[in-house]
Structures are given as C-alpha cells and as structure tokens.
Structure 1
C-alpha cells in the first residue's frame, strides 16, 4: 500500500476545484468588503470634517440628533434621504431635511411637512413643517432651504454610524482595511513564491539532466577514439 504524505494531501486539496472555488469566493468577498469600507470611510470622514454627508447618486444619509420627531424618529436614528429636484415631489406628510433659519441656529432639521409648497405674497415658494413632538409649528421656510426628502429609516446602522463617528471607530475601520489588504498581499506573495519554487525545480531538473548526459557523451567520445585508433593500427 502506497503511503501518502501530508504534503501530497495538502497539494491535492489546494488543487481541488472546491478549494479553488472557495478561494475565489473569499477573494470576491474581501474586495467587496474593501470597497464597502472605503466608501463608508469617505462618508464618515466627510461627515466628521465638513459636518454633512456627501450625496451619492442623488441619495444621502442623516442622523437624527434631537427628539423633535419622536416617536417616529428617535435620537440616533439614521435616515436615507433623496435630494429633491422638483418642488412638486414634496407633499403634506413627507419628512424633509432642511437648513434651519434663526429658529434652529442654521442647523439641519428633519421635520414633517404640514403645508405643501406654495407661493407667498412676495412670489417666493415656501412650505411649512412641524416637529411632531413639538407643540408649535415651525416658521415657514423657502423651498431653497430644503436639502432632501426622507425615503426610509435605515435599521441597525445607527450603532455603526455612532461608532465610526468616534475616533475609536475610525481607528477600527482603518485597521480593518489594513488587515484585509495584508491578507491579500500575503496571498500574492504565496502565489509568487510558489511560482519561483516551481521555476527553481525546473531549473534543477534541467541541470541534473545535463549532468547525467555528460558522462554518456564522454563515454561515447572515448569509444569512438578507441575504435578509430584500432582502425589506424590495422
């Protein structure tokens, strides 16, 4: 019975179709993770540096920081908003994020629309909002102050959002990206090392073949010399 070494077994596993498929899936997942982490880092860094979130394909995210919309929107909730291109897209009951005036110290506010866009006596397009937890309605605002309309609340992301807005969270994100890159670099080095070892083995086989052929060539040359000498003597 032929004894199978551990190295042979490992080689067979590495060369199997299932192992290659698993490696391919792993690489795809790693690169998707890198892409997601990179995009997330850009979003959170922009949020931290500029104080607002970037717009991607007409969509953006906001974090609720006050209780004026409770219980519909709680403090810490993260919402997905769509940038409005047309004022007719805003209707009563929609939740919009707008740049607050002096009433809100110029901060971004997310409240519910209670009066659809209308034209005032000065010809300006206005609308009125209300924080459902507040007793009083908001002062009417210009349509130009509206940043976006809420599409939905994003569940479970508030924890990640709050985490990555902190210095510790940013450090964790950077370390995750570094670890993924290190894993890929190690795989590349292993592949290149395997190719080099194969090339060295091929070179070694060529050298051994040349060395094994040299004695036979020398013997053939010696036999030819002896035969020639015998012919000359005769």
Structure 2
C-alpha cells in the first residue's frame, strides 16, 4: 500500500513537471515567434562575442527587412539548409529582394554557401539574449532532462524581464505628493500662488496703515491750536 502511494506520487510529480515544461515551451514559442526559441553555440566562430555552450534566445518576431549590419542572426546554411548558423551581418548584398552576407567574428572572411547569399527563406531570427555557458547541461545530461532545465532557466529569465518592465512602467507614474525630502511638505502650485497673493495683500494693508498714520500725524500738528498760536506770539514780540 505504501509503495503504490509513493509510485503514484512520483508519477503525479512527473506529469506536473511535464505539463509545466510544455506550457513554458509553448509560451516561449509564442513570445519569441519561432518554433525553437533557443540554440546552443557549437563552434568558436563568434569568439569572443559568443562562446561554445552559450545558449542563445532568438527573437523570431524581428522582421528580416529590419535586419541591419552588425546584428547577430540565426539562419539555415543557404547551400543545403543542413546546419543552423549564428553569425554577424557583414553587409547587405541586395535590397530587392533583400539579401545579406554574414561573417563569424573569429573568421578571417565570409564563407560562400555558409555566410551568403542569405535571404528571408534562410532567416530564423535575431539573437535577443545570451545565457553564458548553460549549454554544458546538454552535454552532461541527456534529453529530456537537459531541455527541461534550459526551458526552466529561460522561463525564469523571461519572468524577471517582465517584472522589471512592469516596475519601470509603474515608476513612470510619479505621485505628485511624493517628496524626496521627507521633512519638507509637498509643493502644490495652487497653494503656493494663494500664499503669495495673501502675502502681497498683507504688505499692501501694512503700507496703507502706515500712510494713514503719517497723514494723521501731520493733521494733528497743523490743527493743534498751541502750534498755531506760537508763531503769532513770536511775531508780536519781534514787533515790540
């Protein structure tokens, strides 16, 4: 009874893992627009840019017409389509139809039948990401375990990229009440304008009060009967 329950549990786990891998694989195919979203570098023709056993994630959605000189692309060898090659675009041979020539970074020159002529028919996709050295798994472990591990790693990478992009989008919507200095209150243009208007009104009010006081003092001096009589008495004394 115990052994049968354990075996059932193992079978259940295997089924769950298998379903998970299939879901990840299908998601990768849709996300990158190609039947095989990743390839393992098998030769040193692209050293030092790409090393043997690096895993390449290929973007099949990138239109062939938009491929430019300097892009690293994956394509079928034009001579007989018997091998998949990853090389850098060296030149555009023709524009109608678009035909390109590639070259391995470590190769002295382009190889006829391998590097050119490449048309849209040979094109698989553009290299989008590189996972260093994880291709060793394909040598150490046998299928399907190696592909399961690679698929999981690639799935984690995509998930991280999606989370990163989501966070970047959220950061673009800044809160107007956020303040870099927590001790300072947030500055709101309407409140600042109202504050300045109140300060200006207060200054005008103070100036008006000062003007009234000065005028009242002058009036007091001029209307004081003592001050008016004093000059008259002084004149009378001088006449005498």
TM-score bracket, normalised by the shorter chain, equals: 0.3 to 0.5
Q: Report the structure number with the largest CA radius of gyration.
A: 2
